[in-house]
Structures are given as structure tokens and as C-alpha cells.
Amino acid sequence: MSSRESAFTCPGVPWISVIGGKLMLLLFLLAPIAASAHVGSPDFYYDGYAGPYHLLVTVRPPAVVPGIAEIQIRSLSTQVNQIEILPLRLIGQGAKLAPTPDVTERSKGDPQLFTGKLWLMTRGSWKVQVNADGAQGNGELAVPIAAISATSMRMQKSLGVLLAPLGLLLIVGLVGIISAANRDAVLEPGATPSPSQRRRGFLITTVAAIIVVGAVIFGNFWWTADASHTERLSYKLPHLQLSLQSGNVLQLALENPNNVNWRQFPSGMDDPDRVRLDDLIPDHGHILHLFLVRMPDMTSFWHLHPRQGEGANFYEQLPSLPAGHYQIFADIVHHTGFAETQVGEIDLPTIEGNLLSGDDAGGPQLIAEKKISQLSDGYRMVWELDSTPIRINQPTWFRFRIEDRNGNPATDLENYMGMAGHAAFIRSDGQVFAHVHPAGSISMAAAELAQDDGSNAAKDMSVAMTGMNQATSSAEITFPYGFPSAGDYHIFVQIKRAGKIETGSFLAHVEN
């Protein structure tokens, strides 16, 4: 049982729970789902500072909402004694009304690892507030996340096999009880029912059986209606409408299949978390981040920033790029901090386009390497990869070092859209995509919203941003991320040096 922030059918009256029969008889596994901020990559990774303490926070949101999110926090400092976590809405009044925080459990084998669980009661934008306490005092940070239901789980066969006979027993037993109530129960001990009593009992039993079967059929209708209602509220991956105009202008029309009230509101009231397309906010300087990658070789990769036209239409003058079948990912952020990736595919002819400008970057012939990616001017990007196999769901810092032509650390790195670099992790079949920054897989616009409440949090954000900026003065960039599923991935890492944006391309094999 649980309670929730909601509008009430009868205002002023507490929401009532009955009983939470949460038996741990059976454990169920849910298939990975599509997440809103990325594609096929539901977990959130955040690298930041809670005051003086450097933390890597992993949030694994529930597959369905309301549900329980799993939180894993790794402290880089040995001076953290205790970490508390609590869930808050990302914006609005709910962002300020904190419940009692939960104390995370410290791993006995790994004292710098802390784990906990949080209940997320409604769909939409949330933040996980992390309070760290240690030898250097207290600090806090907030991790923006999205809570969505993106799956409709069918009942497992094993559970069905368990419940079906029990349900049948209940039906037959109920009819048997009604029969006995009308036949034996009212007889004096030792007496036997007369023929007329038997006939009456049989008649009532027949009617009762019909009513019970009717109730079961009604229950099935009810169940089906509930399931379809839940399905309507499930998050659906939006698909772009794409077309090529005037030879090299790519037109994108955003889709909004999630334009529903996620919570129950009185008639006429709109859910503040409702997904709209007229509320987009810039995420590190751009309303839309567009990624094009030619499939299946992934040698032609582009990170572009289309201009917004009317409504949900965007236009991009493509650079010169080779013909092929392109997979497209478009990252947007709503004013609620809810981040989405829209997907699409298009066959493009050879494009004779414009020179890249602004923050647009990419390359037509990026050769993916396992460790060293060649950049321009003899520079190179080195993936500091050890021999340990990469496994799924492992929060990992992916470290890349930029070297000059002499093998020395590069000294001319600059910020690229406000941070040291950008990375895209794409599975070879295009079914997994994540746009990751040095601060993690969260949207930076949502991160700024998450820090809005309270001066301490804002200060910590500035510390985190400072940390990111400092990374540009060093020659090493790190991206915290965990692969959601096994397979072969391309990692595209983009940095800016000497006024030029460079893209490194790497191959990664991920095991279960």
C-alpha cells in the first residue's frame, strides 16, 4: 500500500489504503525498457559533488510507476561516514516538501559504496536528493530523473500455473459453501434434507454458480480495462517524421504520443507533468541535439543543432555527408525537466552541404578503434581501458586522454557547449542510445532545475560545474555510464581543442 500526491475524487478526504499484501513469494524479472532521456538505457548516472565529497550516483528507476528505484552511490572520498537519500518532485511545490530521508546502507566489503531504495509514486520528473555527511561536514546534491512506466508485463506462466488452480478452488469452494448453506446448514444435527429441500438447494446452488461465474467474467472485464488504462499511461517512444528538402535541408517534426494526464485530476485540470511540445527548454545552449549515424557501419556520425521552425518542426542544413541509411536520435528537454529522445530513420543520398558551424560536429569517415582514435593535426584520443571485461549495468568512468603529436597531454582543450566533452553510446543495432556528459547521463537542463531549490544545492552545482570546467584544462575527460545490455557498441567522444571540435570513435564489447 502506498499513498500518493494526487487529486482526490472526494476532496479533503484522505486517500485510503487497504492492505499491502506484498508477499515475496516470487521474484520477477522485467525486461529492459526504453527510457525517456535515452533509448533502451533506463538508468541514470551522475558524477557530482555533495559539498566536498565526490560521488558517483546511479539511479535505477522502477519499470513501472509507482515503484521502487534502486540507488547506488560510490564515494571517491574515504571521509564520508553516512549518506542519506530522499525523493522530491523536480519542480513545483513538491520540490520543497521533503519527507524524512532514508539512510543508505554502507557495503561491508566496500565501505565507499552506499545503496538504498526510494519509492517514486507518480510519473514525471523527480530528483533524488543525496545528503552526505563526513569528516569535512555535510554536503548535498540532486540527481534529476524521470519516472515512467514503459512496460506492460504479462503474467508469468509459473505464476499463472500457481494462481489458476487456486482461483478455481475458490470458485468451486464458494459454490460448494452456498450449496451447503442452503442444504445442510439449517438442518438439526443428524437430520437429512428432504427431497424438496434438496431441490431448493440445487436450484439456489445453480443460481449461485451462475452469479459466481458472472462475477469472475466481470472481474476479467475489470482487469482488462485496468490493463488497457495502464497501457494508455505507458511511456511510448516518440518517432520523428523526417524529410529531406531543397537537397540538404533535413526537416524534423517531433511526435508526442505521451500527451496524456499521468495523474488523475478533476475534469478540466491538466497534469503539470503532461508531456507537451510547446514547452521545450534549452539544454546546454540548444533546444534540440540531433545525432545522425549511418547504419550499420557507424562511420558517418554527426551531432547537430537544428533551428526551430513553427511548432514542433525543426530544420537543419546538413553538412556534406555520404549516402546511406541513417539512424537519428533527437534529444529534447521539457520545462518540467523531463528529457526525451525521439528516434527516426531516413535514407539519405550523398549530400553536398554546408561547412560545419557553431557547435555542430561530426565526420563522414570515422574509423572506430578499440583504444586509440586518431584526431586532426596528429593528435589522438586514447581510451584508458584496462583488460577487465566490460559488463552490463556496471557504473563505470569511461576515461579518455587527449595527446598531442608527441604523445604529451594536450594543452589546448576548450569547453564544448559548457563542458569538457560529449559522448554518445550507441549499440550496433541502434536500439540503445545514450547522450552522456562528464556529469553523467542526465540532462544538464534538468540538473540545473534540480539545483534550483536551496542555496547550498546551487553552490554544489557550481562546484560540480567547476569540476567539469577544470577537466578541460587537463587532458583527460571522463564519462560516467553503465551499459544496459550486452552487445557491441560504438562510443563517439567529442571534444574541442584549438577552436575545432573533434570526434573520436571507439568500439566496445559488453558482456552480461
Partner 1 sequence: MSTLTAQAPSQIAAVPSARTRRIPWFIWASVAAAGCIVSGVYWDISWHQSIGRDTFWTPAHLLIQFGAVLGGFYAAWLIFSTSFSRNPAAKQASVNVLGFRGPMGAFIAAWGGVAMIVSAPFDNWWHDAYGLDVKIISPPHTLLAIGIAGIMWGSVILILGQMNRAEAGLRRRLQLLLLCAGGFIIIQDMIFKLEFTNRVVMHSAIFYVVVTLGMGIFLEGIARASGHRWARTAMTGFYTVVFLLALWIFPLFPAQPKLGPVYQHVDHMVPLHLPVLIVVPAFVLDLIFPRIKDWNKWAQAAIEGIIFVVVLIAVCWPFGTFLVESQAARNWFFGTQEFAYFLDPAVPSVRNVFYQGDSTRAMFFLKMGIAVVGGILSTRIGIAWSAWMSRVRR
Enumerate residues 50-89 that contact partner 1 by CB under 8 A.
Answer: 62-68, 86-89
| Phi and psi at residue 74, to the nearest 5° | -110, 125
Alpha helices in 338-454 (DSSP H): 444-450
Piece in contact with partner 1 (CB under 8 A), picked from 152-160, 307-315, 352-360, 372-380: 152-160
Least Å from the CB of residue 123 to partner 1: 9
Contact yes or no for 301/505 (Cβ under 8 A)? yes
Binding residue for partner 1 (CB under 8 A) from 44, 55, 72, 153? 153
Q: Which residue's C-alpha cell is 524524512?
A: 100
Residues 445-481, buried b or exposed e (16+ Cβ, 10 A)? bbbbbbbebeebbeebbebbbebbeebbeebebbbbb
Which is it for strands 422-427 and 67-75: parallel, antiparallel or unpaired?
A: unpaired
Question: Applying CB under 8 A, does 186 fall inside the site for partner 1?
Answer: yes
Question: For the residues of 34-72, what is the DSSP string, one character each?
Answer: --SSSBS---EEEEEEETTEEEEEEEE--SSSSEEEEEE
Closest distance of CB 45 from partner 1, Å: 23
Is the distance from CB of 447 to CB of 144 less than 8 angstroms? Answer: yes
Of residues 157, 161, 190, 355, which one binds partner 1 by CB under 8 A? 190
Does position 202 interact with partner 1 (CB under 8 A)? The reply is: no
- CA pseudo-torsion sign 369, 375, 377, 380: negative
Between residues 193 and 353, which has the closer beta carbon with respect to partner 1?
193
The only residue of 105, 136, 137, 162 in contact with partner 1, by rule CB under 8 A: 162
Question: CB of residue 155 vs partner 1: minimum separation in angstroms?
Answer: 6
- Per DSSP, the three-state class of 452 is coil
What is the C-alpha to C-alpha distance for residues 438 and 493, in angstroms, rounded to an integer?
11
For partner 1, which is the closer residue by CB, 17 or 470? 17
CB of 495 to partner 1, least distance (A): 39
Q: Which of residues 227-266 bind partner 1 (CB under 8 A)?
A: 227, 230
Smallest distance, Å, CB 39 to partner 1? 22
Beta bridge partners of 465: none
State the minimum distance, in angstroms, from the CB of residue 204 to partner 1: 11
Which residues touch 178 (CB under 8 Å, ≥6 apart)?
Answer: 204, 205, 208, 212
What part of residues 369-408 is at the interface with partner 1 (CB under 8 A)? none
Binding mask 16-45 for partner 1 (x = CB under 8 A): xxxxxxxxxxx-x-x---------------
Q: How far is the CB of 313 from partner 1 (least distance, A)?
A: 35
Q: Is 10 in the site for partner 1 (CB under 8 A)?
A: yes
Residue 319 vs residues 246, 292, 342, 356, 447: alpha-carbon distances, Å? 13, 11, 21, 6, 31
Site of grid cell 525498457: 33
User: Judged by CB under 8 A, which stretch of 8-16, 356-364, 377-385, 399-407 contacts partner 1?
Assistant: 8-16
| Residue 405 backbone zone (phi > 0: left; psi -120 to 50: alpha; other: beta) | alpha
Q: Which of 118, 366 has the CB closer to partner 1?
A: 118
**Of the candidates 70, 106, 112, 181, which one interacts with partner 1 according to CB under 8 A?**
181
Judged by CB under 8 A, the chain residues 121 through 140 that form the site for partner 1 are: 121
Q: Among 41, 179, 342, 478, which residue interacts with partner 1 (rule: CB under 8 A)?
A: 179
Q: Is 269 in the site for partner 1 (CB under 8 A)?
A: no
Check residue 119 for interaction with partner 1 (CB under 8 A). yes
What is residue 370's DSSP assignment? S
Residue 496 burial (C-beta neighbours within 10 Å; 0-12, 13-18, 19+):
buried
Smaller CB separation from partner 1, 182 or 443: 182
DSSP state of 435: E
Q: Give CA–CA dist 276/436, Å, rounded.
A: 24
105 lines the binding site for partner 1 (CB under 8 A): no
248 phi, psi to nearest 5 deg: -140, 15
- Shortest distance in whole angstroms from residue 454 CB to partner 1: 15
217 is a contact residue toward partner 1 (CB under 8 A): no
Range in contact with partner 1 (rule: CB under 8 A) among 76-84, 96-104, 108-116, 279-287: 96-104
* Candidate ranges 94-102, 281-289, 334-342, 469-477; the one touching partner 1 (CB under 8 A): 94-102
Using the contact rule CB under 8 A, the part of the chain among 220-228, 240-248, 347-355, 383-391 near partner 1 is: 220-228
Q: Which of 135, 163, 213, 323 binds partner 1 (CB under 8 A)?
A: 163
* Cβ neighbours of 300 (radius 10 Å): 20
Q: Is 184 in the site for partner 1 (CB under 8 A)?
A: yes
Q: Which of 155, 207, 217, 367 binds partner 1 (CB under 8 A)?
A: 155
